[in-house]
């Protein structure tokens, strides 16, 4: 009987440890959300009012073209009904002052205009909105797009990104919503409510771009946000790395700063 008496406490201890571990895991697990609720929360994080960002942009074009770096400042006003964003080059000196002003209201097509010092300004046509912004792997239209606000949202599975378990949210535009993408899939870290990967797809089902979050930080509102991103152009093989960790919310801008004379 003695061996059995010695085994019972050991088995009980193991069982209790398993129960405690299960309870702790359940307590730490993020609450389940519907696709609609998850998309709404992610959309609200993008529509965060007026903010100022300093951004470093490293572009690595396909072989045969030299890489380059830009330092930018971004002034933006985002709300559920409209977005206004001004990107301006600070460095290198040869390109300082170049800027692009982008606007979108509701489900209307995005518009934009380019300014080149000292006084050249031209509007962007609908086809030019699809072109690379400042030679990067972002298009002008990409900057304004909020696919979390699209009509069709669905949870299509789970996946692991950088050892983090994620829920995969698929977003598709409604009939009145214009986009260069037929669908977008986002790998979301539910615990921090941070997108760790985004993939954009053409109507053929071919992935065109993949955006990976490489660093997450707390912003000035104490929210977890992607600070560093790598954009992979899956069609050309080029990449763009963004470092935009310096962000300030609640800033005050005048309408003049988002007018043509503000560029």
Query: pLDDT tens digits, residue range 148-166?
Result: 999 999 999 999 999 999 9
pLDDT tier for residue 16 given thresholds of 50, 70 and 90: very low
First to last CA, the chain: 87
Q: Are 228 and 57 in contact (CB under 8 A)?
A: no
pLDDT tier for residue 260 given thresholds of 50, 70 and 90: low
DSSP code at position 144: H
Pairing of strands 183-189, 194-201: antiparallel
Q: For the chain, what is the mean pLDDT?
A: 87
pLDDT in tens, 68-125: 999 999 999 999 889 999 999 999 999 999 999 999 988 788 899 999 999 999 999 9
- Whether pLDDT at 178 is above 90: no
Q: What is the pLDDT of residue 255?
A: 87
Structure-block tokens of residue 28: 């730490």
56-68: burial string, b at 16+ Cβ within 10 Å, e else: bbebbbeeeeeee
pLDDT tier for residue 211 given thresholds of 50, 70 and 90: very high
Q: What is the pLDDT of residue 106?
A: 83
Structure-block tokens of residue 132: 């690379």
Alpha helices in the chain (DSSP H): 2-28, 35-46, 140-144
Q: Are 189 and 204 in contact (CB under 8 A)?
A: no
Q: What is the pLDDT of residue 111?
A: 93
Sign of CA dihedral 88, 91, 93, 95: negative
Q: What is the pLDDT of residue 245?
A: 66
**Backbone angles phi and psi of 95, in degrees to 5:** -115, 5
35-262 belongs to which CATH class?
Answer: mainly beta
């Amino acid at each position: 009987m003695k061996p059995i008496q010695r085994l019972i406490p050991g088995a009980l201890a193991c069982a209790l440890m398993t129960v405690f571990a299960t309870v702790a895991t359940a307590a730490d697990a993020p609450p389940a959300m519907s696709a609609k609720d998850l998309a709404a929360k992610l959309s609200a994080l993008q529509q965060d009012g007026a903010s100022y960002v300093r951004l470093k942009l490293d572009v690595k074009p396909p072989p045969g073209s030299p890489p380059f770096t830009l330092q930018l400042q971004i002034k933006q006003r985002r709300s559920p009904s409209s977005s206004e964003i001004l990107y301006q080059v600070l460095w290198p000196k040869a390109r300082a002052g170049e800027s692009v002003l982008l606007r979108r209201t509701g489900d209307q097509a995005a518009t934009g205009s380019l300014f080149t010092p000292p006084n050249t300004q031209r509007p962007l046509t609908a086809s030019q909105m699809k072109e690379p912004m400042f030679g990067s792997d972002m298009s002008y239209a990409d900057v304004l797009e909020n696919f979390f606000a699209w009509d069709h949202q669905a949870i299509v599975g789970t996946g692991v990104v950088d050892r983090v378990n994620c829920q995969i949210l698929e977003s598709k535009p409604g009939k009145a919503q214009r986009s260069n993408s037929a669908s977008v899939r986002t790998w979301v870290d539910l615990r921090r409510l941070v997108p760790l990967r985004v993939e954009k797809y053409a109507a053929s089902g071919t992935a065109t771009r993949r955006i990976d979050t490489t660093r997450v930080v707390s912003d000035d509102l104490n929210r977890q946000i992607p600070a560093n991103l790598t954009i992979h152009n899956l069609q050309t093989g080029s990449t763009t790395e963004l470092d935009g960790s310096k962000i300030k919310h609640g800033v005050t801008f005048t309408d003049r700063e988002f007018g043509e004379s503000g560029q």
